[in-house]
C-alpha cells in the first residue's frame, strides 16, 4: 500500500490480494491514513488490487465509517469488474462513492 498527499486529497494505492491474510494490516494502515491525513478526501486507488474477500471488504467498510465519523470523504477508484461485483452483491456499491479513475478524479 502506497500513500501520497496531493492537497486536498490523500491518495492510497492498494495492490495484490486484499484478504484475511492481510486484512488486519490493511485495516490498521487505512485507519492511520484516514486519521492522520491533512486532507478532506481520502481516495483509494484499487487499480492494482487483484482480489477482495470479506475480510478485505470489512477493512474498507471500517475505514469508510471512520472517515464519515470525522467528516472526511472516502472514495474508491479504478475498481475492477471482478471486484466491483462483490460490492454489488453486498449492495455496498450504494454505500461507497466509487469513481472510474483516480488520476482523473484527483486532477479534476
Domain boundaries, the chain: 2-107
Q: Whole-prediction pTM value?
A: 0.89
Candidate from 5-9, 42-46, 64-68, 81-85 with smallest mean pLDDT: 5-9
For domain 2-107, give its CATH number from 1.10.3720.10, 3.30.750.24, 3.40.50.300, 3.40.50.720: 3.30.750.24
Residue 77, classed as helix, strand or coil, is: strand
pLDDT at 9: 83
- CA–CA distance, 29 with 32 (Å, rounded to integer): 5
Residues 19-78 pLDDT 10s: 999 999 999 999 999 998 788 899 999 999 999 999 999 999 999 999 999 999 999 999
Contact call for residues 70 and 41 (beta carbons, < 8 A): no
The DSSP bridge pattern shows strands 73-77 and 41-52 to be parallel
Label the pairing between strands 97-99 and 41-52.
Answer: unpaired
d(CA 80, CA 100) in angstroms, rounded, equals 9
Confidence of residue 101 (pLDDT cuts 50, 70, 90): confident
Question: What pLDDT, on the 0 to 100 scale, is given for residue 84?
Answer: 96
Q: Which residue has the cell 454489488?
A: 88
Amino acid at each position: 500500500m502506497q500513500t501520497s498527499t496531493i492537497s486536498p486529497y490523500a491518495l492510497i494505492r492498494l495492490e495484490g490480494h486484499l484478504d484475511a491474510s492481510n486484512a488486519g494490516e490493511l485495516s490498521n494502515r487505512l485507519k492511520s491514513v484516514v486519521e492522520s491525513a491533512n486532507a478532506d478526501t481520502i481516495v483509494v486507488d484499487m487499480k492494482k488490487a487483484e482480489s477482495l474477500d470479506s475480510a478485505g471488504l470489512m477493512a474498507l467498510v471500517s475505514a469508510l465509517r471512520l472517515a464519515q465519523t470525522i467528516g472526511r470523504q472516502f472514495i474508491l477508484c479504478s475498481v475492477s469488474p471482478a471486484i466491483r461485483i462483490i460490492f454489488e452483491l453486498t449492495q455496498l456499491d450504494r454505500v461507497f462513492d466509487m469513481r472510474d479513475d483516480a488520476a482523473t478524479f484527483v486532477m479534476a
